Amino acid sequence: MREENTEIIEQADKEIQSAETNISEQEIQRVEVKKSEQEIEVKNAEQEIEVQKSEQEIQNVENVEAQKIEEIEDVEARISEQEIKNTNSVNKETENNNYTILKEQNKDENDNKNSSKTKKRNALNKYTIIITVITILLFVGLAIFSTIFALLHTNSGKIANGVLINGIDVSNLTKEEAYKKINDIYSNKITENISVVHGDISTNNITPKQIDMEYKIDEAIDIAYAVGRSGKILKDNYTLINAILTKIEIKPAYQYNEKSLTDWIVSQQLNLPDGIKESSYEVNGQNLIITKGKQGAYIKQEELKQSIISACNNILENNIKIELPIEEKQPQAINLEKIRDEIYKEPKDAYYTKNPFTVYPHVDGIDFNITIEEANNLLLADAEQITIPLKITHPKVTTNQIGVEAFPDLLATYSTTFATSNKNRATNIRLATNKINGTVVMPGENFSYNKVVGKRTAEAGYKTAAVYVNGKVENGIGGGICQVSSTLYNSALRANLEIVKRSNHRFATGYVPLSTDATVSWGGPEFIFKNSRKYPIKIVASVNGGKITINIFGCKEDVEYEVVIQSQTLQTIPSKKVYRTNTALPKGTTKTVQKGHAGYKSRAYRILKLNGEVVSKQLLSTDTYAQLETIIEQNP
């Protein structure tokens, strides 16, 4: 029995050893397979460095070991239950031996596992170190390259590559070279015409110079030069590379005269043939004349302004055309109450004060001579103009009635002569002289000859007399009044007043020196001067016999100049004789129907002296007078 048990035990030991051997070989194969897989994963880790996958594989090995232990325990349990029921002590010893063997195997396998894990970690550390070293070397190289790149640009003294100023390439130019290039282009642009059109109608052209357009070229070049020069290497390198790849464009700042541009646009509105016409009014003597408005084209001012400014800044485009932005618009309704409030005045007497010396001119009272209801009824009429009668109330003391003590000093005087035999001409001269006599002009105020004298009509008493018309002498209403305006011009010059508007005659006159005449006509040439003195002035004009005298009185200032008017003849243009056949004349006779005279080119100066010394010499005008043909009729 003991021998049988011994055999059974030996047989069990063999089976156990066989089972253990089989299990060990299988596990070794499994471990080797896993090891191969792990080695493949290590190779993949060189690129991806996935530590998590390696740790997962290690966990798989541990799971296999645990499974192996469970299988051994299952075998031992089967042997113990079937073969070794009575050998508890032997079984315990055997079991202890088995556990010892298994423990040693587990230890070896754990050692192998830790060794594999260590190798993988070492491999990973090795690749990490290599990559880190390469990264550091690349970073250091890039930093060195960046520093050199930035320093080369900073020290080059030139604008970075890829920088534009308003579309003009200034790459690799010095500031001086860039300024010359930009300035040359802008200089041409400043005088270039920009066409503004309205359908088939062309309005006046406009240039950047007309609106005082100024471009800040220096500032733009400074900004261009500063690209890539901030002093921060990484930022500068990024900026320089960005300029090369995508370009950096700089728009120069600019400024212009807003009033000049607005005035130009308003002038275009006024000149539009189909433009809107707003209602207007004027006081003409004892009547208020109201002109009704008309629907028409209205310029969108702000939109046009932006288009013009954009065109002025479009440096690289020539012959720019802008379509006039317009809209149809109705004129504002006529508001008679508002007009009445604007023209209404209470009469005020003229007076003056001393310390300081000041003249306060009179004010005529003005009001409607009909009710507002009656005036509104007049508006209902289908007429372009309506006339509203006015009530003019004169004050007790007018400005020209102020005593001579208000105008104590004679500032200037001038006289011309005329032939009294020409009664019509003499009448016209007397009427015009009386119109301007007593006129007071306040400081800063303009004197308009046509406005003061008024329209020359037969109803006003003017006669027909010789006038120049289309290069020949003809009779016309008001002939002779230009001698009064010329006499006043010379007196105003000597009073050192500012001349606002003056024109010379077509032909030379005989009553004043060349370039000292002032022609006038209703609706044509005008003579205007301004009281540029500190105090009011008073015009005292008179006609005695064949002499016109115009005095200008006022109050002398602290510094008064001696005024000398100098006339110079630059060229004489001989008169021509023109012969015409007139069969009504006796045969073989001639008749001079127009006496001609030479033409001239001349100029005049106003010279100011102080204590006998010349202080200034002002050119007043340079004029050309046409020669007047001598016309002779004959019957050959």
Beta strands in 470-586 (DSSP E): 472-477, 498-501, 528-530, 537-544, 547-554, 562-573, 577-581
| Whether the predicted pLDDT of 6 surpasses 80 | no
Compute CA distances 569 → 415, 485, 508, 515, 573, whole Å: 22, 22, 12, 9, 11
Instruction: List, for residues 524-575, the tens digit of each pLDDT value.
Output: 899 999 999 998 999 999 999 899 999 999 999 999 999 999 999 999 999 8
Task: Report the distance separating Cα 279 and Cα 333, nearest Å.
Answer: 8
End-to-end Cα, the chain, rounded Å:
191
Q: What's the pLDDT at 75?
A: 43
pLDDT of 119 strictly over 80: no
Structure-token pair, residue 553: 């009185």
Q: Which amino acid is at 402?
A: I
Task: Round the average pLDDT of the chain to a whole number and report it.
Answer: 81
Burial class (CB in 10 A: 0-12, 13-18, 19+), 480: buried
Higher per-residue pLDDT: 242 or 125? 242
Read off the pTM.
Answer: 0.50
What type of residue is 571? Q
pLDDT tens string 7-66: 555 664 565 455 444 444 545 455 454 545 555 454 555 545 443 544 555 455 455 445
The tokens of 383 are what?
Answer: 């007429």
Q: How many CA atoms lie within 13 A of 43 on its CB side?
A: 5
Query: What is residue 83's three-state secondary structure?
Result: coil
pLDDT at 613 over 50: yes
Count CB atoms within 10 A of the CB of residue 165: 24
* Distance in angstroms (rounded) separating the CA atoms of residues 385 and 389: 13
Tokens found for residue 481: 């009044």
Count CA within 13 A, CB hemisphere, residue 261: 20
Residues 6+ apart with CB under 8 A from 141: none
What helix, strand, coil percent values describe the chain, rounded to 5? 45, 25, 30
Task: Tell the residue number behind the tokens 């629907």, with chain if given.
Answer: 295
Q: Which residues pair with 440 in a beta bridge?
A: 538
Cα–Cα distance measured from residue 311 to residue 323, given in angstroms and rounded to the nearest whole number: 12
Please report the pLDDT score of residue 89 as a whole number: 45
Give which of 467, 481, 382 is closest to 427, Cα–Cα. 481
Residue 202 pLDDT class (50, 70, 90 cuts): low
| Whole-angstrom distance, CA of residue 555 vs CA of residue 409 | 5
- Look at phi and psi of residue 262 and say left if phi exceeds 0, alpha if psi is from -120 to 50, else beta: alpha
Whether pLDDT at 604 is above 80: yes
Percent of the chain residues past pLDDT 70, beyond the cut: 75
Q: What are phi and psi of 18, to 5 degrees?
A: -60, -45
At residue 600, the pLDDT reads 94
Cα–Cα distances (Å) from 384 to 335, 390, 534, in that order, read 16, 19, 44
pLDDT (0 to 100) of residue 37: 53
pLDDT for position 73 = 54
Nearest alpha carbon to residue 441 among 536, 362, 532, 357: 536
Give, in degrees to the nearest 5, the angle at Cα 117 between 120 and 104. 150
Structural contact between residues 548 and 484, judged by C-beta atoms closer than 8 angstroms: yes
Which amino acid is located at 38 in the chain?
Answer: Q
- What letter does residue 333 receive in the DSSP assignment? P
- The C-alpha atoms of residue 137 and residue 148 are separated, in whole angstroms, by 17
Lowest-pLDDT range of 147-156, 549-558, 595-604: 147-156
The predicted pLDDT at position 235 comes to 80
240, HSE (Cβ side, Cα atoms, 13 Å)? 25
CA distance 207 to 268: 14
Contact of 441 with 531, CB cutoff 8 Å = yes
Q: Is the pLDDT confidence value at 351 over 70?
A: yes
Q: What is the rounded CA–CA span in Å between residue 434 and residue 537? A: 17
Of the two residues 179 and 234, the one the predictor is more confident about is: 179
The reported pLDDT for the residue numbered 120 is: 60
In the predicted model, what is the mean pLDDT of residues 614-618?
A: 96
The percentage of the chain sitting over the pLDDT mark of 90, rounded to a whole number, equals 39
Distance in angstroms (rounded) separating the CA atoms of residues 307 and 301: 10
Band of residue 593 on the pLDDT scale cut at 50, 70, 90: confident
The pLDDT tens digits for 416-463 are 999 999 999 999 999 999 999 989 999 999 999 999 999 999 888 999
Question: What average pLDDT does the segment 341-359 reach?
Answer: 87
Q: How far apart are CA 416 and CA 435, in angstroms?
A: 17
Instruction: Give the pLDDT of residue 87.
Output: 44
Provide the greatest CA pair distance for the chain: 196
Strand 630-634 and strand 577-581: the pairing is parallel
Q: Which two tokens stand for residue 340?
A: 């009445």
Alpha-helical (H) ranges within 463-616 are 481-494
Could you tell me which of 165, 302, 351 has the C-alpha nearest to residue 243?
Answer: 165
CA distance 365 to 382: 31
**Residue 468 is encoded by which pair of tokens?**
């120049």
What distances in angstroms separate CA 4 from CA 1, 7, 11, 486, one per listed residue?
A: 5, 5, 10, 167
Q: What are the tens digits of pLDDT across the range 67-116?
A: 544 654 554 455 445 444 544 444 444 444 444 544 555 555 555 555 66
Distance separating alpha carbons of residues 611 and 602, to the nearest angstrom = 29
In the chain, the amino acid numbered 540 is: V
Query: Residues 132-157: what's their mean pLDDT?
Result: 62
Q: Which residue has the tokens 């010394």?
A: 613
